[in-house]
């Protein structure tokens, strides 16, 4: 699933226009729905009507959501397991998995490619209808190690599942959680309320540094879903079972926590005090 760095990269490409025209300033003429179940809110018929002739004001991200601000309302897209967004000229052949296509007035299209069809599209007046329950943005100035410690100590949960909880912290998924915990030297089964201040500071820094590195490398490309990233070449632990830890040389191991494959270094992330 695309995580914060991958979604941020996609939003930047759409906003800046790295591989074509920018989506900003474009007017959406109509939408073609080859998979109507992409549309979550409102009804399909209402969506078709309300999206016509909407002007794109800006493109951003909240958590793992693409946020397209319109002159009237907000177009929000959750890529889920296999989604990707790109801009292509009208005469460019469509991929079989381009299920939702927005036709723009400049003879280009915004295409939502979604192999597994798990993605969702929302058109709402108030973005908080979708974002209201999300946790803080980990790269926001308001996200401090002190605020993180307060939130960690309010809960008594294993740290790996807690960091994956989007209502606790927005944007982290399996890859970046494993990588951040390794940077911080924290075992993925540690209880959140057991972390000392110096450990929380290390975790806060690990989260931010991992995400910044992911963004600077345009995210990770590990399957057919998201392409163009390079962060997979900088993994410390994720999908490196049996390989040497980049810090101490010990073999990376894998365990399942909350039905999620979890990668860590048993020496750098000791089980003590779990």
Active site residue 3: yes
Which member of 155, 260, 266, 270 is catalytic?
260
φ and ψ at residue 255, rounded to 5 degrees: -140, 165
Q: Are residues 108 and 85 in the same domain?
A: yes
3 state SS of 17: helix
Spatial CA neighbour of 102 closest among 187, 30, 2, 25: 30
* pLDDT greater than 60 at residue 273: no
CB of 50 closer than 8 Å to CB of 121: no
138 is a domain residue: no
The pLDDT confidence band at residue 114, using thresholds 50, 70 and 90, is: very high
| pLDDT one-digit tens code per residue, 1-47 | 789 999 999 999 999 987 779 999 999 999 999 999 999 999 999 99
> Chain-wide mean pLDDT for the chain?
95
Q: Are residues 15 and 96 in the same domain?
A: yes
Spatial CA neighbour of 53 closest among 110, 103, 107, 126: 103
Active site residue 2: yes
Residues 6+ apart with CB under 8 A from 40: 120, 121, 122
Which member of 2, 5, 138, 188 is catalytic?
2
Q: Which residues of 128-155 are buried (b: 16+ CB within 10 A; e: fewer)?
A: eebbeebbbbbeeeebebeebbebbeee
| pLDDT one-digit tens code per residue, 134-188 | 999 999 999 999 999 999 999 999 999 999 999 999 999 999 999 999 999 999 9
CB of 69 closer than 8 Å to CB of 26: no
| pLDDT one-digit tens code per residue, 53-66 | 999 999 999 999 99
Active site residue 8: no
Domain boundaries, position 9: 4-131
Q: In this structure, what CATH number is given to the domain that contains residue 246?
A: 1.10.8.50
246 is a domain residue: yes
51 is a domain residue: yes
Q: In this structure, what CATH number is given to the domain that contains residue 38?
A: 3.20.190.10
The pLDDT confidence band at residue 229, using thresholds 50, 70 and 90, is: confident
Cα–Cα distance, 215 to 177 (Å, whole number): 15
Q: Are residues 74 and 176 in the same domain?
A: no
Active site residue 64: yes
Q: Are residues 25 and 122 in the same domain?
A: yes
């Amino acid at each position: 699933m695309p995580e914060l760095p991958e979604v941020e990269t996609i939003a930047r490409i759409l906003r800046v226009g790295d591989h074509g025209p920018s989506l900003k300033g474009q007017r959406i003429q109509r939408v073609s729905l080859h998979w109507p179940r992409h549309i979550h809110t409102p009804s399909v018929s209402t969506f078709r009507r309300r999206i016509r002739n909407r002007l794109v004001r800006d493109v951003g991200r909240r958590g793992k959501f693409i946020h397209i601000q319109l002159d009237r309302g907000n177009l929000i897209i959750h890529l889920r397991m296999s989604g990707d967004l790109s801009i292509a000229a009208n005469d460019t052949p469509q991929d079989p998995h381009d299920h939702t296509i927005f036709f723009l007035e400049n003879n280009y299209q915004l295409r939502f490619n979604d192999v597994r069809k798990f993605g969702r599209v929302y058109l709402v007046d108030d973005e908080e209808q979708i974002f209201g329950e999300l946790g803080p943005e980990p790269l926001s100035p308001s996200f401090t190690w002190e605020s993180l410690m307060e939130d960690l100590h309010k809960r008594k949960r294993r740290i790996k599942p807690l960091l994956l909880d989007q209502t606790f912290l927005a944007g982290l998924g399996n890859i970046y959680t494993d990588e951040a915990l390794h940077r911080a030297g924290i075992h993925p089964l540690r209880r959140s309320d057991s972390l000392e201040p110096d450990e929380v500071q290390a975790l806060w820094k690990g989260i931010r540094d991992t995400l910044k590195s992911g963004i600077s490398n345009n995210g990770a490309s590990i399957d057919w879903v998201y392409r163009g990233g390079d962060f997979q070449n900088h993994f410390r632990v994720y999908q490196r079972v049996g390989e040497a830890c980049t810090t101490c040389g010990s073999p990376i191991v894998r365990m399942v926590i909350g039905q999620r494959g979890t990668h860590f270094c048993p020496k750098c992330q000791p089980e003590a005090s779990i």
